[in-house]
Structure formats: structure tokens, C-alpha cells
Amino acid sequence: MARALVLHPKDNVATLLSTASRGEGVELLGSAWKVRAASDIPAGHKVAIRPIPEGEAVVKYGEPIGAATSDIKPGEHVHLHNLEGLRGKEGALKEVEVKKQARWEPPSLDGLPVHFLGFPRADGGVGIRNYVLIVPTVVCSCRAAELASSNLPGAVTFWHPYGCTFSESENRFLERILISLGSHPNVFGAVVAALGCETVNFERVAEGIGRSGRPVELVVIQRHGGVEGAAERMRRAAMWMLKRAAKAKRERVPVGELVVGVECGASDAFSGLTANPAVGEACDLLVAAGGTVILSETPEVIGAEHLLAARAVDTEVAETLLKVVQRTEEALCRVDTPQAGAFITPGNIEGGLTTLEEKSLGCIRKAGTSPLVEVVGYGERPKRKGLIFMDTPGHDIKSVTGMAAGGAHLIAFTTGRGTPTGCPVAPVLKVASNTTCFERMRGDIDVDAGSIARGLETIEGMGREIYRLLIETASGRPTKSELKGHAEFALPMDDGN
């Protein structure tokens, strides 16, 4: 007999934990109901557990995820052929009803670490790594930066296509992000790698990083011997900084100094059942210890914004969140592409996700249940501690870059289909939503949350394990993406996405 999970008493669909063959009985965990599969239905996909008339809401997580486009009988597969999302498309904008959430009760930290080993910085911050970052200001200097950092442990860099022929406002935006990364808490010092004729102001980038008190060296390819001469100059500067960095010692620091970004990419239906709520549990523990969590990806909040707004500490924070989400949804409605509103990838669909609302309701579970204390713009540093929402695109690399620029020390990244991506300055801890994904990409993923779906672990237990791993990562334990040298970087400059 196949098994499926009913997530809320109001739900009229269940998520299959194992594949159901046509005619096979389906045991509904969390409900007294039983159904028989009307067709072959893959694991992770939805099966109707009650009749759903055409036009009626399909309900999952206790919330509507769209409307039935035809009558749906119990046992039938619920997916693109009979379910349509209502958000993120023309005519979908509406007033969002917000019901204030009850007072938050922080989880117990008994038996868990409340300190990590970090590097105190002269500007008052704390780092969890001691990188020397080679910062290319334009695509033309990326190769020189790569040559300079090659086989130099502790030196990191990244590729990007920006820095020239963009507008003045875009160049200023890039400068702000490069300065933020160069003065990131995990960066000991920076080498700014410029070509010499780019439209971005490379001298302003170097000066901005220098204001943080970090050592910084500006190398210009057109002034310093071409690519080979400049790369060698960058390398010498990085080696000098690394020798100084090696003298720094880790010290015991309260977890309250830690900033963790949460991200998901290549998600499937299990993401909202296992990995995301487990990471959310870890985030609640982090906030309970005085730390900060950053949730991002505005398009993947559409359809769930009322739940986040209900957790806001005051009306101003709630209204700011709702305005940010509304602006993003309006932008999606203007895009002349049928799938633009859905924001669902082929991998999401194959993994069982059907609508934007369904994806969003699962996505926000990785932020836990703590109060929302602040909403910030892309790459901005939070002023408060606790749960923060950052306005970023629904693109995992662009989102991670934004959170890193906003000071996130590390990223907890959930995935259902599997992705190896990393970040130049912030370690990325990968959490698989299912064991199949974990086994296929064992060399790229750190945690298997699929044990929850297999009944071997609880969400609370896995959350505590992830919390411990976050603390260990902060104290120096490398993640799989770090070991593989992943340092992806992208900004919302090239396509408005």
C-alpha cells in the first residue's frame, strides 16, 4: 500500500510519500480517510482525498493553492491537467487578509551549543572564515582574478558579466554590492581587480572596502603589465594578506552574532514536507539564541505573504512586506509569457509542485515560526536581530548573492532535485528533501532530510541536527560546496528577474 501525508485537517489533497500504482490503496497519514489511486501517481505528487468540484479551491497546508479546472474525484492525480494557480498572473491581484499570529514561544535550547568559534573584526563584526577576496570589477578582469587565486588556499574570487556599458544607476548598484562583499565579515582582506576603462568606478570600490578597516589593494590590468603582470601583482598582494590572516585565532563568540540566510533551489514537493520545515526548526533555535535569519526570494512568497505578515512585529513591517510582494506580482503580470506568473520550473513540476501558491507555502517553512522583525532591500544589511525578509528575485544564485552582500555568514540551502551551487564569501550548507537526491549527489549535499519522509527522524530532531551543523560550519567545518570550490555569483541587473 502506498503512503501519503495529509498536512492539515482542511486539506483536500495529500502528498504521496511513495509512488502509487493504478488501483493501489493509499494510506493517508494524518487522516482517517483512505483512497485508491485512479492512475499511476509519482511520489511527491498530490492525490485528491475528497471530491473537489470544478472551480473550487484545492487546499494544501490548510491554504488554497489554486482552483480545480475540472471535477476531481478522490484518488485522482492532482496536477497541471486539473489544477490552476490564481496568483502571479493578470487579474489575480487582490487584497490580502492578514490575521495576527499568536505570541511566539521560542523553542528550548537545552543541550545545544550557544557559542561558535569566530574571528573578531576591527569594525566590530565577527567572521566565520578568513578569506582574501579578489574582486573583479568587470567581466574583462575576471580571468586575471582567477589566475591570481588559482591554487592559493584561502584566496577566492568569482566570475560575473557586469561592470561596463550598464547605466549609471546599475554601475552604482554593482559598486555597492562589490563593496559589501569585499568588506564581508568572512573576508580578511581584498584585492580589487580592474581592467582600467570600465564604466564602474573601481577606485570607489577599493576606497569603499578600505573604509571597513580591511587591507585592500587595487590592481589595474591596463596599468600593471596586462593580464599576466596584473595577475602576478594580485597574487603577491593576496599572499601577503593571507600570511597576516593566518595569525588570526578563532575566539568563542555567542550565537547571537551569527547571521544565516535560508535558500531553496531545484525544489520538489518533498521540500515543503521535510527539508524546509527542518531548516525552519533550526532557524527558530537560532533566533531563540539571539541570532539573525534572512529569508528571501519575493516571487516565492506570493500566495503565502499573509502568513508572513501575520508574524510581523508591527504594522509598518507587515505593510512593507505586503507592498514588496504586490510590486513583484504586478511586475510578473506585465511579463508576456504564459509561465511567467507561475514561476514554476520544469524540475519543480516533475517533482510534484503545480502552482506558485503551493511552492510559496512550502518555501516559507524554511524561515520557521519566529516574528518577522524587518524587511530590507537587496543586499542591505539588517539593523535588527531576528527574522528578516530581503527583497530579492526568485533566482537562487541572485538571492544568495544578495543575502551574502547583506552580511549572511552562511547559507542553509534546501533542494529536492539537487544543485551544487555555492557562494564566494559565505559557506553554503545543502539539505536534501529526499534520500534519492542525497544519494545521487552525496558529494554535493551535506544533509539528508529525506529520513523524515521515511519515518526515521522527526522535523524537530532534524532541525536540531541542522542547527548543530550550522554552528560547526560557523566554527570552521567546510561544506561540500566549499570543498568543491563553488563560488557562483549573479545580480538582478541583466534581465530584471
More confident residue, 63 or 344: 63
pLDDT at 127: 99
Q: What is the mean pLDDT of residues 211-215?
A: 96
pLDDT confidence band for 336 (50 / 70 / 90): low
Asked if residue 428 and residue 279 are part of one domain, the reply reads yes
Asked if residue 235 and residue 164 are part of one domain, the reply reads yes
Condensed to tens digits (0 to 9), the pLDDT of residues 133-188 reads 999 999 999 999 999 999 999 999 999 999 998 999 999 999 999 999 999 999 99
Print the domain residue range for 9: 2-84
Asked if residue 179 and residue 45 are part of one domain, the reply reads no
Angle, alpha carbons 17-413-246 (nearest 5°): 145
Domain count, the chain: 3
Condensed to tens digits (0 to 9), the pLDDT of residues 367-396 reads 999 999 999 999 999 999 999 999 999 999
Asked if residue 267 and residue 200 are part of one domain, the reply reads no
Q: What is the mean pLDDT of residues 126-136?
A: 99
With cell 599572499, the residue in question is: 239
Asked if residue 229 and residue 143 are part of one domain, the reply reads yes
Question: Chain-centre distance of CA 367, in angstroms?
Answer: 10
372 within a domain of the structure (yes/no): yes
Name which of 372, 361, 182, 146 is nearest 264 in CA terms. 361
Instruction: Give Cα separations from 409 to 42, 125, 235, 428 (angstroms).
Output: 38, 11, 25, 9
195 within a domain of the structure (yes/no): yes
pLDDT, averaged across the chain: 94
Reported pTM: 0.94
Whether the pLDDT of residue 497 is over 50: the answer is no
53 within a domain of the structure (yes/no): yes
Asked if residue 421 and residue 314 are part of one domain, the reply reads yes
The half-sphere exposure of 364 on its side-chain side, counting CA atoms within 13 A, is 28
488 within a domain of the structure (yes/no): no
91 within a domain of the structure (yes/no): no
pLDDT at 340: 42
6 within a domain of the structure (yes/no): yes
pLDDT at 100: 76
Condensed to tens digits (0 to 9), the pLDDT of residues 392-422 reads 999 999 999 999 999 999 999 999 999 999 9
pLDDT confidence band for 341 (50 / 70 / 90): very low
Asked if residue 404 and residue 302 are part of one domain, the reply reads yes
Q: Domain with 137 in it: what CATH number?
A: 3.40.50
Last residue of a domain, one of 216, 245, 274: 245
pLDDT confidence band for 345 (50 / 70 / 90): confident
Q: Domain with 79 in it: what CATH number?
A: 2.30.130.110
Asked if residue 326 and residue 268 are part of one domain, the reply reads yes
Percent of the chain with pLDDT over 90: 89
Asked if residue 199 and residue 146 are part of one domain, the reply reads yes
Last residue of a domain, one of 245, 262, 295: 245
Asked if residue 434 and residue 386 are part of one domain, the reply reads yes
CB atoms within 10 A of CB 91: 7
Q: What is the mean pLDDT of residues 41-45?
A: 96
Beta strand 410-415 pairing with 387-390: unpaired
pLDDT confidence band for 339 (50 / 70 / 90): very low
pLDDT at 89: 66
Four-CA torsion 333, 339, 345, 350, nearest 10 degrees: 140
Give the lowest-confidence range in 88-92, 320-324, 348-352.
88-92
pLDDT at 496: 40
Asked if residue 403 and residue 318 are part of one domain, the reply reads yes
415 within a domain of the structure (yes/no): yes
Q: In what order do the strands lie in the sheet with 131-136?
A: 155-156, 131-136, 187-194, 216-220
Last residue of a domain, one of 176, 211, 245: 245
Whether the pLDDT of residue 91 is over 60: the answer is no
Whether the pLDDT of residue 355 is over 80: the answer is yes
74 within a domain of the structure (yes/no): yes
Whether the pLDDT of residue 337 is over 80: the answer is no
pLDDT at 494: 60
Q: Would you call 26 helix, strand, or coil by DSSP?
A: strand
pLDDT at 136: 99
Asked if residue 477 and residue 362 are part of one domain, the reply reads yes
